[in-house]
Amino acid sequence: MNSAFVKAEFHCHTRYSPDSLMSLEALLLNCRKKGIGKVAVTDHNRLAGALKAHEMAPDLVIVSEEIMTTEGEILAYFLTEEIPEGLHPLEVVRRLREQNAFISVAHPFDPYRGSRWQKETLESLAPHLDGIEVFNARCVENAFNQKALAFAQEFALPQMVGSDAHSTFELGRAVLFLPDFSSADTLRVSLRSAEKQTRRSASIVHFVSTWAKLVKSTGVGA
């Protein structure tokens, strides 16, 4: 591997998401231990955790968000303003373009993850996307990832991957090795030379999210 390349994790959640208990300190420590040189903190519909993590480790953290639209979730990197949930996908893309954010779609063909994407919507989004998540380590069926890969190939979209980590042991299961980058524009260029390293997580990881929701419903660790 070229020494100028970095190992990048593009999808993870912290305690600022309703379904994770991972602290920012634990996230950063484990990224360092695992040789992850860039990590996108993509909490659900919130930027607070990503902004704080970036203050703690600006060299490591990409300020990002996983945004729930009316049809499915959009991943956005290098944000300056939080995008609220519940908007139409095209409106989300419009707001992200105003920030020059890097725009991707999370696990678009996984029906167990809240995705209700219409084929026509995804096709209308394609010209405005910078990439699409073709491998999500938490997909319980690899067929969902394969459908995303086929879509990316059909529309000539750069291929993103993500661990979708909600706990420290999930970090690094799906990463890209690519030239170092520091902005949405340089990421777009770096993806031309990206190499994937992917492993699906065991289904038991979904209980991590369920447990986090339960803990937070009791007011402990919220």
Does residue 222 lie within any of the structural domains?
no
State the pLDDT at residue 221: 46
Does residue 30 lie within any of the structural domains?
yes
pLDDT value at 48 more than 70 = yes
Mean pLDDT computed over 29-38: 98
What's the CA gap between 90 and 80, in Å, rounded? 19
- Reported residue count of the chain is 222
Give the residue numbers spanning the domain of 53: 5-217
State the pLDDT at residue 157: 98
Does residue 44 lie within any of the structural domains?
yes
Instruction: Report the CATH number at residue 138.
Output: 3.20.20.140
pLDDT value at 2 more than 80 = no
Query: How many domains in the chain?
Result: 1
Mean pLDDT computed over 148-162: 98
Does residue 69 lie within any of the structural domains?
yes
Q: Is residue 5 a contact partner of residue 178, using CB atoms and an 8 Å limit?
A: yes
Query: Angle, nearest 10°, between helix axes 24-33 and 48-56?
Result: 50
Does residue 176 lie within any of the structural domains?
yes
Does residue 83 lie within any of the structural domains?
yes
Does residue 155 lie within any of the structural domains?
yes
pLDDT value at 1 more than 80 = no
pLDDT in tens, 58-99: 999 999 999 999 999 999 999 999 999 999 999 999 999 999
Q: How confident is the prediction for the chain on average, in pLDDT?
A: 95
Does residue 63 lie within any of the structural domains?
yes
Mean pLDDT computed over 194-213: 87
Enter the tokens of residue 71.
Answer: 């049809």
Mean pLDDT computed over 165-191: 97
